[in-house]
Amino acid sequence: MRLPKAGTIEIVPSILDADFARLADELAVIEQAGIRMVHLDVMDGHFVPNITIGPPVIAKLREHSNLVFDSHLMISEPVKYAEAFAKAGANHITFHIEVVEKPKELIDKLHDLGCTAGICLNPETPVENIKAVAPLCDMVLVMTVHPGFGGQEFMLEAAKKVAEVRRIVGPGVRIEVDGGINTETIPKVISYGADTLVVGHAIFAEPDRVAAINAIRAAIG
Ligand code: DX5
Ligand code: ZN
């Protein structure tokens, strides 16, 4: 399981609105529908005001799923926990620039652990802060809401940063957007240069996940 090379548009369902008591089944449904990656939102109650899952849950899910595990670490100490997430079976690990002083060292460490590396910036964080290291990553994650909760309203100004990131990284690095991504906002983020679309509420808050995925595919065109 490896992050697909840049050049395709990927829908990446976020588990935040899924049924946490039936996570393996939820993953099986999206995998059956042809999805290749799942976005695992990890929250520590410190970097963000919410708590979700950690390595033990990811390790158990790994036994049930062939999806690429795209782990979004919304935690204050990603350096400390990177290895535990890699060992649990995360394939791609994204950390927040806001809490890492030496991002190049962490990117190298993630690669050494056999993972692809992602860097993320919050809506208020300038692109300038990731300029030097973004090209070293496999994917850049641009938050289009303040991290912490699913189902929030899309922030257009934050999404516009995607175009700036694209100019910096060129075509070979994926750009992921996360927060308020749905059939209405997808054309905008694609026009800015995003190719990896995290979708939480618009899939897992719908009773028919497959129909929701197909509606999103139609919006991509
Ligand atoms: C927000 C998370 C997102 C979230 C997106 O803190 O990082 O991945 O689940 O959910 P929606 O698509 O509902 O905005
Ligand atoms: Zn996320």
- Which residues, including other chains, have CB under 8 Å from residue 14's CB and lie 6 or more apart? 38, 39, 41, 72, 150, 178, 198, 199, 200, 203, 204
Where residue 42 falls among pLDDT bands split at 50, 70, 90?
very high
What does the pLDDT look like over 97-139, one tens digit per residue?
A: 999 999 999 999 999 999 999 999 999 999 999 999 999 999 9
Quote the CA–CA distance of 114 and 2 in Å, as a whole number. 10
Where residue 22 falls among pLDDT bands split at 50, 70, 90?
very high
Paired tokens of 115? 């993972």
Which pLDDT does position 177 carry in this prediction? 98
Indicate which residue's Cα is closest to atom 1 of ligand 1: 147
Mean pLDDT taken over the chain = 98
Nearest to 199 by CA among 145, 162, 132: 145
Which spans in 89-204 are helix H? 103-112, 156-159, 161-169, 186-192, 201-204
Indicate the residue type of 171: P
Nearest to 81 by CA among 105, 57, 61, 54: 54
Which pLDDT does position 33 carry in this prediction? 98
Where residue 31 falls among pLDDT bands split at 50, 70, 90?
very high
The SS3 assignment for 100 reads coil
Q: Is-above-0.95 flag for pTM?
A: yes
Residue 12's alpha-carbon distances to 5, 41, 97, 210, in angstroms, are: 14, 12, 21, 13
Which pLDDT does position 93 carry in this prediction? 99
What does the pLDDT look like over 100-111, one tens digit per residue?
A: 999 999 999 999
The mean pLDDT value for 161-176 works out to: 98
Atom of ligand 1 nearest to the CA of 50: 6
Measured in angstroms, how far is the CA atom of residue 154 from the centroid of ligand 1? 10
Measured in angstroms, how far is the CA atom of residue 150 from the centroid of ligand 1? 4
End-to-end Cα spacing for the chain: 26
Quote the CA–CA distance of 37 and 128 in Å, as a whole number. 28
CB of 10 within 6 A of ligand 1: the answer is no
What does the pLDDT look like over 47-75, one tens digit per residue?
A: 999 999 999 999 999 999 999 999 999 99
CB of 147 within 6 A of ligand 1: the answer is yes
